[in-house]
A = this chain, B = another copy of it.
Amino acid sequence: MIGNLNDRSRQILQAIIEEYIVTAEPVGSRTLTRRQGVNLSPASVRNVMSDLEEMGFLSSPHTSAGRIPTDRAYRFYVNTLLQVGRVSDDHEEQLRERLPLQGGDASRILRETSRMLSSLSRYAGVVLAPRFTENVLRHLEFVKLGGLRLLAILVTEHGIVHNKLVELQEDISGEELIRMTNYLNSLLQGLPMTEVRRRLIEQMQSDRVAHDALLDRALRLSKQALVETEADLFIEGQATFFNQPEFAEAGRMKELFQAFEEKGQLLQLLDRCLAADGVQIFIGNETNLNPGGMSIITSAYRSGSRKLGVLGIIGPTRMGYARVIPIVDYTARLVSRLLNSGEQQLPAVT
């Protein structure tokens, strides 16, 4: 049934969608004919619109209003009508210039990415930081704090730092700590996190460890430190939703912001996005987000073939897809490069 549209219907559907994206008002036949590119009488357009409505591409808020596109229409639009261009030179320049933050560690770059996504798209930007478990361990360090508290610091390949507090039952000397750290690093460095866990358990049963209480303790401590933490999620530009008339109603807006604060739904959705390749687009109800009427456009950033995380933008379903898709696409590529190589133009140190 989809795609079962002749040229004229497509043209009109496209015109309606694009008009609606700009005005946020139901589009009437008359309005449409005034648009450049539609050379038909209102009555003809009405016939086509009526068909489109029957096919589920349009709906009317009430009898004598214009039509608005359904989720299905947007889906069709994105899949077959839309032609995506390249990112504009200006946007490209801004991204290349502002993303490689001076002395920025990975989290700061990701947060700034979220800001940039928002400011360029004029919707909200989202960046899901690399899942801890999907990463390669670069370094493991224990730092003694006051009392019996020990801070475990884990650094992944791409400079993402995680830390976790563990409480000791009995004190440990500085030398023991160093020995532990050395042992663990030689054991675990360079392993993907998924491997790390396995290696720990394996090692616990080895002879060497059975005869060395300190090593045993080290393994148990690091197992503690590896408990998965909640994923970091940067959302910036939430306030852009105040510009969208479809969220003008206070109740909707409240729901929206509560969803943003809670993050659970969003994390789930972004996990789905992470699974797929290339630019992902979820439209309206496809997102399963609670206050409906939102779409999300994402792309994974990666290191070689391994996906690190996901970034993109969230806006109303009535969104400038053509404009935004290239931004997301380009940003994902750029961030991939930034996190991987030393492309950052940092002030060098001798």
Contact = CB atoms under 8 A, between A and B. Distances in A.
Interface of A: 103-106, 108, 138-139, 141, 143-149, 151, 153, 155, 157-159, 161, 163-170, 217, 220-221, 224-225, 227, 229, 236-239, 242, 248, 250, 253-254, 257-258, 261, 340-342, 344, 346-350
Interface of A is mostly: mixed
Contacts of A158: 145
B153 A155 contact: yes
B164 A103 contact: yes
Given A103-B227, A167-B342, A236-B261, 12 more contacts: A105-B165, A138-B144, A141-B153, A146-B340, A147-B342, A149-B344, A151-B161, A167-B348, A168-B348, A217-B350, A238-B257, A242-B257
For the complex of A and B, list the 4 residue pairs with the smallest distance between their C-beta atoms, beginning with the closest: A147-B342, A242-B254, A167-B346, A169-B348
B253 A349 contact: no
Contact of A161 (B163, B229, B239): B163
B261 A346 contact: no
A149 B342 contact: yes
Contacts of A238: 257, 261
A161 B347 CA distance: 23
A239 B257 CA distance: 6
Nearest to A148: B342
Contacts of A168: 348-349
A231 B229 CA distance: 22
Nearest to A221: B349
A205 to B, nearest CB: 17
B103 A166 contact: yes
A288 to B, nearest CB: 20
A262 B257 CA distance: 16
A159 B145 contact: yes
Contacts of A141: 141, 143, 153
Contacts of A145: 138, 155, 157-159
A5 to B, nearest CB: 38
Contact of A258 (B159, B166, B239, B350): B239
A39 to B, nearest CB: 40
B224 A103 contact: yes
Contacts of A242: 250, 253-254, 257
A164 B250 contact: no
Contact of A248 (B164, B250, B258, B348): B250
Nearest to A256: B239
